[in-house]
Amino acid sequence: MYRLEEPGYFLLLAIIPLMIAVFLLVFWWKKRTQRKFSNALLLKKIAPNSSIFKASLKLTMLLLAITFLSISLVNPKMGSKLETVKREGVDVVFALDVSKSMLAEDIAPNRLEKAKQIISKIIDNLGSDRIGIIVYAGNSYPLLPITTDHAAANMFLQNAYPDMVSSQGTAINEALELAKSYYNNDEQTNRFLIIISDGEDHQEESKEVAQNLMNEGIKIFTIGVGTDKGGPIPIRMKGTITGYKKDGKGETVITKRNVAILENIADVGEGKYIDGNITENPVNEISEIIANAEKNEFETKQFSDYKDQFQWFLAIAILFLLLDAFMFDKKTKWVRKIDLFNEEKTK
């Protein structure tokens, strides 16, 4: 397991394309100027030791030095020991609706991205709580099992899209049933299930499933994204909208948020429905509820004794800088002695 102490230093890598662009621009300017001065054959005789390859190689060495220097400044740390530690927290499972209707852009940038923003910000506000993520559409899928690794949760969350679920629709019942398997601590007093959806196509039977979860001590909160007016579902090809989803009659489908069903599920689950169109509202409310909840002690395994690894990358950077410093732009002597085309004999 590794950590990046100062990931901001990766911004130094932006210098690399700039240096390549300057090198190419200077190379073009030199060639243009040389053509005005003389022809290629004469230039070769005037400057026989000139080497484009050596200049390119020196630039490569310098760029590699900058790359490894940037990584050394970031200071990767490697966990050297896995140990079991005791922590306090609650279990929070997010059920994210990734059906096609979540691609509607009635809120910016679209419902799905808004939902992911909400989940990500809630995760950032959590302490040592364990989290899990379920995605669902026509069926449900365990995106991330219960874990204390919040960084991994955010990473997996960004990859949640409708295409990852094999069938479309809204299988909220299946997602609720799957959520049961996430909570493995029967003694835990506070367990939370947070559903983020537009509420469209959710079944009435969901209330019965929600009641079963509530009986097992799982509180259900729902967050609705989308507008009552609704919007069309865009069809994209390589990032460009090529049209909108149509029904069997050829008319554009307008998807609307269904607040009523989400409120019913939250009421049965002894939780609360929260409007998610303004990100701060659900983030602040859910974060406060979890922060004030009674915590339970649990054991988890984590890496410890993280050791700095910057010195290895710094040593490689210095090596490339030395190679660049001792390398000349001119052709190497032994290379000049090689007469590949028998030019000396033809003189």
Please tell me which residue, 11 or 166, carries the higher pLDDT value: 11
Rounded to whole angstroms, how far apart are CA atoms 225 and 279?
10
Please tell me which residue, 32 or 134, carries the higher pLDDT value: 134
Q: 199-208, 276-285, 317-326: which has the highest mean pLDDT?
A: 276-285
Region 40-55 average pLDDT = 64
Give the model confidence (pLDDT) of 102-152 as tens digits.
Answer: 999 999 999 999 999 999 999 999 988 889 999 998 788 899 988 888 888
Position 148 scores a pLDDT of 82
For the cut 60, the answer to whether the pLDDT of residue 70 exceeds it is yes
Position 340 scores a pLDDT of 43
Please tell me which residue, 82 or 230, carries the higher pLDDT value: 230
283 Cβ contact list (under 8 Å, min separation 6) = 118, 121, 122, 125
Which residues on adjacent β-strands are paired with residue 157? none
Position 76 scores a pLDDT of 84
Position 226 scores a pLDDT of 93
**DSSP conformation letters of 245-282:** -B-TTSPBPEE---HHHHHHHHHHTT--EEE-SSTHHH
Coil, strand or helix at 56:
helix
Please tell me which residue, 27 or 46, carries the higher pLDDT value: 27
Coil, strand or helix at 152:
helix
The pLDDT mean for the chain works out to 82
How many other CB atoms are found less than 10 A from the CB of residue 108?
Answer: 9
- Residue 342 is classified by DSSP as -
Position 171 scores a pLDDT of 67
Rounded to whole angstroms, how far apart are CA atoms 263 and 276?
13
Region 316-321 average pLDDT = 91
Predicted TM-score (pTM) of the model is: 0.63
Q: What does the block give as tokens for 186?
A: 């029967």
Rounded to whole angstroms, how far apart are CA atoms 130 and 28?
57
Give the model confidence (pLDDT) of 251-299 as tens digits.
Answer: 898 999 989 889 999 999 999 999 999 999 999 999 999 999 887 766 6
Please tell me which residue, 171 or 214, carries the higher pLDDT value: 214
Rounded to whole angstroms, how far apart are CA atoms 137 and 250?
23
Position 232 scores a pLDDT of 92
Q: How many helices and strands, by DSSP H and E, does the chain display?
A: 12, 13
Q: How confident is the model at residue 54 (pLDDT cuts 50, 70, 90)?
A: confident
Rounded to whole angstroms, how far apart are CA atoms 165 and 159?
12
Q: Checking DSSP bridges between strand 254-255 and strand 231-232, what pairing results, if any?
A: antiparallel
**CB contact at 8 A, 290 and 16:** no
Q: What does the block give as tokens for 171?
A: 């299988």
Which residues on adjacent β-strands are paired with residue 297? 88
Rounded to whole angstroms, how far apart are CA atoms 2 and 36?
56
Position 328 scores a pLDDT of 67
Q: How confident is the model at residue 63 (pLDDT cuts 50, 70, 90)?
A: very high
**CB contact at 8 A, 311 and 205:** no
**DSSP conformation letters of 160-183:** --GGGSSS-S--HHHHHHHHHTT-
Q: 141-155, 192-206, 275-289, 328-342: which has the highest mean pLDDT?
A: 275-289
